[in-house]
Amino acid sequence: MEASIDQRITHRVWIPAVIAVLLSIASAFSYFGYVGQGIIVGALLGLPGRESDVAIAQHWATYWLVASLCCLTGSIVAAALALPIYSDASRSSRFIARFVVASILSLAVTVFIGFVAFSIITALHRPLVH
């Protein structure tokens, strides 16, 4: 009976934690989409006859940014559900503490994943022979 309870608690922690990490990855790559659309807008600005393309690229940039923020928010919520800290505190203070810690951790994981992915992308674009 004890093993069943321990396994249930383990699933209760690991499943939201994995979801939080996956949403952090999605948030980082959505932010890359936002930056990419910004680069497109910068390249098209000032070109005659490309005003509609600039407006479309700005529209898509807004979608990428909203997707990134939604994924980050989902990551924070999933991490707050996964954190087992302050289990003896009152319900409201436990929620606030878990939310603050989850916000910091989710943002740190998202920035770390973005940094690693950007480093890999830039390393792959460098020529192998100088």
Q: 78-120, pLDDT tens digit by residue?
A: 999 888 888 888 888 888 999 999 999 999 999 999 999 999 9
Cα separation, 69 vs 63, whole angstroms: 10
What predicted TM-score, i.e. pTM, was given to this entire model? 0.83
Tell me what percent of the residues of the chain surpass a pLDDT of 90. Answer: 62
Domain presence at residue 20? yes
Domain count, the chain: 1
Going by the DSSP 8-state scheme, the letter that residue 83 receives in this structure is -
Its domain, for residue 93, covers: 2-125
Q: Is the pLDDT of residue 74 over 80?
A: yes
Residue 37: inside a domain: yes
- pLDDT digits 0-9 by tens, 8-25: 667 778 889 999 999 999
User: Do the domain assignments include residue 108?
Assistant: yes
Q: Which residues of 61-70 are buried (b: 16+ CB within 10 A; e: fewer)?
A: beebbebbee
* Residue 8, in any domain of the structure: yes
Please check whether residue 98 lies inside any domain of the structure.
Answer: yes
